[in-house]
């Protein structure tokens, strides 16, 4: 009974924390709606119900990360480090990056939107089959790029490479590719770097980096454990521009 009571208290605190995090957004919307626009909030009951759902969703999502995704990511990183097999660690890293990115709802949304706009703009044939092929190609390209990015980030942790030189070199590559890529793909490529670092990818990849850096002697989790997300944001821009150069 004591454990159940502690769990309920922790859940209540998490809900209050979610409400606190959302409060600035609520205050901004309320201020501009009532003071600037001077209009009542439309469908107030529906808005309040939706707000409750958002608070519950954030609460359970954070609980899920702390109870499930972070521990399993760190424990698998420790296990691979103890196993001492670089091949399996790199293969796992690639599969983790690829799998989490394919599952990203934000990537699915932007790929579908890009396919629809490309069809309307005459870049691809305006039919459902062509749009689906374009969207799937975009998703797979981004997922492959994130897989490669995580492998590169893991190698950086293993070798102790300075992250700043890799990031600078990567952005130089982005600038060079921008000069040659079709204009129609550049915006999509830049946005692809952002949508890969979302709700599914970030927790697992972060846990992998921190767990791996903690398990390797001579590595500092604060210095070496973070930075994988930077690679996951950078490489998709390059891969998508190359994808655009190939298909256009």
Residue 2: the pLDDT is 64
Radius of gyration of the chain, Cα coordinates, nearest whole angstrom: 22
Query: In 10 A of CB 102, how many CB atoms?
Result: 18
Is residue 12 domain-resident? no
Dist. CA 76–CA 70, nearest whole Å: 10
DSSP 3-state of 75: helix
Is residue 184 domain-resident? yes
Is residue 89 domain-resident? yes
Dist. CA 213–CA 187, nearest whole Å: 34
Is residue 87 domain-resident? yes
Is residue 98 domain-resident? yes
Dist. CA 63–CA 84, nearest whole Å: 32
Structurally, how many domains does the chain consist of?
1
Residue 71: the pLDDT is 75
Q: What is the pTM of this model?
A: 0.77
Is residue 158 domain-resident? yes
Expressed as residue numbers, the domain containing 81 is 67-247
Alpha-carbon torsion 158, 162, 168, 172, what sign? negative
Is residue 44 domain-resident? no
> Rounded to 5 degrees, what are φ and ψ at 103?
-85, -5
Dist. CA 248–CA 185, nearest whole Å: 9
Mean pLDDT for back-to-back runs of 10 residues, the chain (248 residues): 69 81 86 83 83 84 71 74 80 88 84 88 84 90 93 90 91 94 89 77 81 82 84 91 85
Is residue 52 domain-resident? no
Dist. CA 93–CA 152, nearest whole Å: 9
């Amino acid at each position: 009974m004591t454990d159940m009571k502690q769990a309920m208290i922790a859940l209540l605190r998490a809900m209050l924390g979610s409400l606190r995090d959302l409060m600035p957004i609520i205050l901004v919307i309320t201020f501009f709606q009532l003071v600037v626009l001077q209009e009542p909030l439309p469908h107030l009951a529906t808005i309040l119900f939706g707000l409750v759902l958002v608070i519950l969703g954030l609460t359970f999502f954070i609980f899920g990360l702390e109870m499930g995704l972070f521990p399993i990511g760190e424990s698998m990183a420790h296990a691979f480090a103890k196993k001492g097999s670089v091949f399996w660690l790199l293969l796992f890293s690639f599969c983790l990056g690829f799998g989490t990115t394919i599952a990203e709802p934000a990537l699915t949304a932007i790929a579908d939107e890009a396919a629809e706009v490309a069809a309307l703009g005459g870049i691809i044939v305006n039919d459902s089959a062509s749009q689906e092929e374009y969207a799937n190609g975009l998703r797979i390209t981004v997922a492959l790029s994130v897989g490669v990015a995580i492998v590169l980030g893991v190698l950086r942790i293993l070798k102790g490479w300075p992250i700043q030189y890799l990031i600078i070199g990567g952005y130089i590559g982005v600038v060079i590719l921008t000069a040659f890529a079709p204009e129609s793909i550049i915006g999509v490529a830049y946005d692809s770097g952002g949508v890969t670092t979302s709700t599914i990818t970030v927790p697992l990849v972060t846990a992998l980096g921190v767990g791996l850096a903690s398990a390797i002697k001579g590595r500092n989790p604060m210095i070496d454990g973070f930075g994988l997300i930077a690679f996951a944001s950078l490489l998709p821009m390059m891969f998508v521009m190359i994808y655009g150069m190939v298909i256009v």
